[in-house]
Amino acid sequence: MRFRLVSYCSAALMASSAFIVPQALAAASSDGIVVYNAQHENLVKSWVDGFTKETGIKVTLRNGGDSELGNQLVQEGTASPADVFLTENSPAMVLVDNAKLFAPLAAETLQQVAPQYRPEHGRWIGIAARSTVFVYNPAKISEAQLPTSLMDLAQPQWKGRWAASPSGADFQAIVSAMLALKGEQETLA
């Protein structure tokens, strides 16, 4: 069976750890910086190694899940040893942001990312992006028959013909975006 991938949320932003360099340099103590990491450990380890090689600043990683580390940051409050919080999903980021634990980023850091890919308040910034894809079997459906929007999957012809992982944070983020953009009634359809 052969499948094709169709990108629905294509990545427009791909960056390196250089985005955190100015902030981390300012925050670095003689012991280095502490990063609470809810991203993929191998990927972040390579970023950390490159950052330390480039700057000489030691980085201590605390790895864990998004919710775990977000809640830990909120519990620790301003006494947290964390200098940087890396998360791949918005619920944990919103939790920490709502607790007013993010410091404003320097303008030179924010300017490295196009305005449409950063929040106006400037308290956090994306350093990587990924795509969410719709996989289909071209032996069963032609490219011309594919939905043109995620919202099209609510139409009757798609009932029982597609699947998603509703408990996954990626799916939850997509539903959150749909709620914000289309409203509850259209999202529930």
For residue 23, the domain's CATH number is: 3.40.190.10
**Residues contacting residue 188 through CB under 8 Å, at least 6 positions apart:** none
Note whether residue 124 is domain-resident. Answer: no
Residues 82 and 149 in one domain: no
Q: Which residue intervals of the chain are DSSP H helices?
A: 21-27, 41-55, 66-76, 90-98, 107-110, 169-182, 184-188
Domain that holds residue 113: 17-117
Nearest to 38 by CA among 81, 94, 88: 88
Residues 22 and 113 in one domain: yes
Residues 26 and 108 in one domain: yes
**Mind listing the pLDDT tens digit of every residue in the chain (189 residues)?**
333 333 333 222 223 333 334 444 445 556 899 999 998 899 899 999 999 999 999 999 999 999 999 999 999 999 999 999 998 877 888 899 999 999 888 999 889 888 888 888 889 888 777 777 788 899 999 999 999 888 888 889 999 988 887 776 677 778 878 888 888 988 887
Note whether residue 181 is domain-resident. Answer: yes
Note whether residue 127 is domain-resident. Answer: no
As a residue count, the chain comes to 189
**Residues contacting residue 179 through CB under 8 Å, at least 6 positions apart:** 187
